[in-house]
């Protein structure tokens, strides 16, 4: 695997772990999230990083679109957070955190581990 891609995969993994760590400090509860501006902004920033890393991976190797689920949606969320910040829905972000981020974490860890077994 290209070293740049591996670095970006680690960036995604670290961002997901950061989001997970936020909920060791705060209750993983939608209303806690919705009412905590610092938690929301920190989470959104990590989602931006994830989207940017996925975008770079796809530019480097478009075949990763078949290895990572919902790449276009991940990049689209990044763009929304950055460019259309006023249309972000707390419910949408929460759904991503609960339903999609755990799956992405598994996929990213698998891709990283597959690379580490080759070395």
Mean pLDDT, consecutive 10-residue stretches, the chain (119 aa), reads: 94 98 92 95 97 98 96 95 90 96 97 76
| Residue 90 lies inside a defined structural domain of this protein | yes
Q: What angle in degrees, to the nearest 10, is found between the helix axes of 3-25 and 37-60?
A: 170
Active-site residue 100, yes or no?
no
> Does 118 map to a domain?
no
Confidence (pLDDT) at 1 = 80
Answer yes or no: is 119 within a domain. Answer: no
Number of domains the chain is built from: 1
> What is the predicted pLDDT for the residue at 119?
45
* Domain contains 9: yes
Residue 27 lies in a domain: yes
Range of the domain at 61: 3-113
Cα–Cα distance for residue pair 108/6, rounded to 1 Å? 10
Q: How far is CA 114 from the centre of its chain?
A: 20
Answer whether residue 14 is part of any domain: yes
Residue 48 in domain:
yes
pLDDT at 117: 58
Domain assignment present for 58? yes
- Of 45, 56, 78, 100, which one is the catalytic site residue? 78
How much is the pTM? 0.93
Q: 41, 45, 56, 83: which is the annotated catalytic residue?
A: 83
Q: What is the DSSP letter of 65?
A: G
Residue 45 annotated among the catalytic residues of the structure: no
């Amino acid at each position: 695997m290209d070293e740049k891609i591996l670095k970006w995969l680690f960036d995604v993994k670290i961002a997901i772990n950061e989001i997970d760590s936020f909920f060791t400090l705060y209750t993983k509860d939608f209303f806690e999230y919705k009412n905590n501006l610092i938690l929301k902004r920190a989470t959104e920033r990590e989602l931006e990083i994830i989207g940017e890393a996925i975008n770079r991976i796809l530019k480097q190797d478009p075949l990763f679109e078949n290895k990572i689920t919902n790449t276009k949606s991940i990049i689209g969320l990044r763009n929304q957070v950055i460019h259309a910040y006023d249309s972000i829905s707390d419910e949408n972000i929460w759904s991503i955190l609960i339903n999609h981020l755990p799956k992405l974490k598994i996929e990213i860890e698998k891709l990283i581990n597959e690379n580490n077994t080759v070395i």
